[in-house]
Amino acid sequence: MRRHKSLNLMNNKGFWPEKVAIVDAIKDILTLGKCRRPLPIKDYGFYRDVSWRNEDNDLVPYQSADWYVYEALDEERMQVDSRRILASLRTEPWRREDLLGDHYDLFIMAEDMFDPDRTRGLSRVDYSVGRSAPLTAAVISTYRIEHIWGLPYSYLKTEVMRQLCFMFGVPGQAREDLLAEGDRLYCPNVCILRPAHVAPDDWERLTEDRLAKGALCEQCTGELREFFEQAAGEEG
Q: Strand 41-46: give its sheet, edge to edge.
A: 41-46, 7-11, 104-109, 137-141, 130-133
Residue 156 lies in a domain: yes
Ramachandran quadrant class, 17 (left: phi over 0; alpha: psi -120 to 50; beta: rest): alpha
Answer whether residue 139 shows pLDDT above 50. yes
207 found inside a domain: yes
Domain of 74: which CATH number?
3.40.390.10
Residue 149 lies in a domain: yes
More confident residue, 219 or 182: 219
Cα 62 to Cα 46, 51, 88, 92, 189, distances in angstroms:
13, 10, 8, 7, 39
Question: Mean pLDDT across the chain, nearest whole number?
Answer: 91
Domain range spanning residue 179? 7-232
- What are the pLDDT digits (tens) for 78-133? 999 999 999 999 999 999 999 999 999 999 999 999 998 765 544 556 899 999 99
Domains in the chain: how many in total?
1
Residue 1 lies in a domain: no
Summarize pLDDT for 37-65 with one digit per residue, the tens.
Answer: 999 999 999 999 999 999 999 999 999 99
The reported pLDDT for the residue numbered 184 is 87
Count other Cβ atoms within 10 Å, centred on residue 113: 24
Q: What angle do CA 105, 114, 214 make, to 5 degrees?
A: 60
CB 7 within 8 Å of CB 103: yes
Q: Do the domain assignments include residue 53?
A: yes
3-state secondary structure the chain: CCCCCCEEEEECCCCCHHHHHHHHHHHHHHHHCCCCCCCCEEEEEECECCCCECCCCCECCCCEHHHHHHHCEECCCCEEEHHHHHHHHHHCHHHCCCCCCCCEEEEEECCCEECCCCEECCEECCCCCEEEECCCEEEEECCCCCCCCCCHHHHHHHHHHHHHHHHCCCCCCCCCCCEEECCEEECCCCCCCCCCCCCCHHHHHHHHHHHHHCCCCHHHHHHHHHHHHHHHCCCC
What does pTM read for this prediction? 0.94
Domain membership flag for residue 2: no
User: Does some domain include residue 16?
Assistant: yes
Question: Is 155 within the bounds of a domain?
Answer: yes
Backbone angles phi, psi at 18, to 5 degrees: -80, 5
